[in-house]
């Protein structure tokens, strides 16, 4: 009869307390990691305009002026527009820079080297890959170099 009573009234286990403690501890750690990641991302993605404003306010207090970086060569993209959705595998990139400037157009899989004409214009056919294509266009002059990033999206499915 004693054996039956042991099976009918089990003793409470202390392991449930440990499981709850570890679950709470793990949850708190997870929330802290996510919060730190969000904070770090927001801190790193601070727009350059805000950074410049902070530098200017510090300089105005000190009455000192720091030399600004000289713009070497400006690149203007005429076609296609940023973030344009394309349905063809290649696109013609047209733009303007300084005359006789050496340009490098770096697509996802290929690089193209060209020199602008006497008016500063350039035109190059670029092959795209499916999805997002970040095309980097860099101009090289004797003054230095400047770059512009042209994001384009290519999809075969939308052409149907």
Q: Helix (H, G, I), strand (E, B), or coil: what is residue 153?
A: strand
Which tens digits make up the pLDDT trace of 116-147?
999 889 999 999 888 888 999 999 888 888 88
Spell 104-129 as b/e; 16+ CB within 10 A means b: ebbbbeeebeeebeeebebebebebe
What is the domain extent for residue 36?
A: 1-68
Q: Model pTM greater than 0.75?
A: no
- 63 shares a domain with 2: yes
Clarify whether residues 81 and 151 are in a common domain: yes
Q: Are residues 105 and 63 in the same domain?
A: no
Q: Are residues 60 and 80 in the same domain?
A: no
82-128 pLDDT, tens digit each: 888 888 888 999 999 888 889 999 988 889 999 999 988 999 999 98
CA distance 20 to 26: 10
Instruction: Output the six-digit token pair for 108.
Output: 């996802």
Domain boundary among 68, 91, 116: 68
Number of structural domains in the chain: 2
């Amino acid at each position: 009869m004693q054996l039956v009573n042991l099976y009918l009234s089990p003793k409470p286990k202390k392991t449930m307390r440990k499981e709850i403690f570890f679950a709470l501890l793990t949850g708190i750690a997870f929330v802290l990691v996510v919060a730190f990641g969000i904070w770090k991302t927001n801190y790193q993605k601070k727009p350059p305009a805000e950074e410049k404003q902070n530098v200017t306010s510090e300089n105005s207090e000190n009455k000192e002026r720091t030399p600004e970086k000289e713009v070497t060569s400006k690149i203007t993209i005429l076609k296609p527009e940023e973030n344009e959705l394309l349905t063809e595998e290649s696109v013609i990139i047209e733009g303007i820079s300084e005359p006789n400037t050496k340009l490098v157009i770096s697509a996802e899989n290929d690089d193209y080297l060209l020199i602008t004409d006497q008016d500063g214009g350039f035109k190059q056919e670029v092959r795209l890959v499916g999805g997002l294509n970040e095309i980097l266009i860099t101009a090289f002059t004797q003054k230095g170099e400047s770059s512009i990033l042209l994001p384009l999206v290519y999809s075969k499915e939308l052409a149907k």
